[in-house]
Amino acid sequence: MRLLFIVSLAILGAAALRAWVIEGIYVATGSMEPTLHVGAHLFLDKMTYRVRGPRPGEIICFSAPVEPYEEMCKRLVAVGGQTVELREKALYVDGKAVEESYVVHKRSAEKLVGDNLGPLEVPKEHVFVLGDNRDESKDSSYWRDPATNEPKPFVPMSRVRGLVRGIY
């Protein structure tokens, strides 16, 4: 009986840890290459954003704000109150060019949907995210409202699952 109690307690503790503190997740697409490769396993920190707000440059996991509402991981590039713009594939936040040494443009000669966007002000409690493999990423530069085809670029913080802390 005591062993059953200990095993039950351990299972409950592990489930609580996974639900509220840290979780292992799997990278299914190449949208964050070369930073995160397909098949990589990540530690997802679910506690940090309960203590502080998100910061540009962090890699987060979230549920997409448009159908089919896929779970994905992208780089957070702007938070609520900031102005974001994409000009000829270059990122500007609050009017200043952002140095993005981690970004790859595999289709740099092509004109793509998200190459030019904004300027847009990110609403409070929302974030703007982009994949590091910019030309192969479905992200804030790509998402559209299916009824109007207008950009739908912001991820509500309520859809953010957590902060990527490392690869295992």
Interval 36-71: pLDDT, tens? 989 999 999 999 999 999 999 999 999 999 988 899
Q: Where are the beta strands (DSSP E) in 48-159?
A: 59-63, 71-79, 83-87, 90-93, 96-97, 117-121, 126-130, 155-156
Residues with active-site annotation: 31, 74
CATH superfamily of 22-167: Umud Fragment, subunit A (2.10.109.10)
Residues 127-141 have pLDDT tens digits of 999 999 999 999 999
Element (H, E) at 9: helix 2-20
Cα-Cα end-to-end distance for the chain: 36
Q: What is the pTM of this model?
A: 0.87
Name the residue ranges covered by the structural domains of the chain: 22-167
Coil, strand or helix: which one is 124?
Answer: coil
